[in-house]
Amino acid sequence: MRHQGKSNQEIADVIGVCKETVIDWVRIFETEGLNGICRLNYEGRRLLKIDPYIDKIKKDIKEEMISTLTELQDLLKRKYSIEIEQSWLSRCCKKNSVSLTKKRA
């Protein structure tokens, strides 16, 4: 699909994975060839530690007025003992429709 001019997002939409997964697969293919891709044993999206808590986290965000990823990171560490990098946390929020609250002026 890449050789046909499809974008990473278009490929991801067709296959049913996130764009970052396609980027990883392309990188592996370019460095290791087809054998590298065949060793992946892809069995679907892996669950993140945060996944079982998404509904609780959405409620926590509203109750505690969480408005930044740093505040959300602190909440996850304090309440759920989960440490997650901001880039992953940002992607996870987008994938799960998690919205931070807006600070009132």
- Check whether 102 has a pLDDT greater than 90: no
For the chain, the domain total comes to: 2
What range defines the domain where residue 25 resides?
A: 1-46
27-75 residue pLDDT tens: 999 999 988 888 877 666 666 788 889 999 999 999 999 999 999 999 9
Residues 23, 55, single domain; the answer is no
Arithmetic mean of pLDDT over the chain: 87
Could you tell me what percent of the chain has a pLDDT over 70? 90
Residues 25, 55, single domain; the answer is no
- Check whether 103 has a pLDDT greater than 90: no
Residue 35 located in a structural domain = yes
CA angle 10, 15, 16 (to 5 degrees): 95
Residues 38, 10, single domain; the answer is yes
- pLDDT at residue 67, rounded to an integer: 94
Check residue 74 and report its DSSP letter: H
Q: What is this structure's pTM?
A: 0.57
Measure the CA–CA gap between 54 and 8, rounded to whole angstroms: 27
- pLDDT at residue 19, rounded to an integer: 85
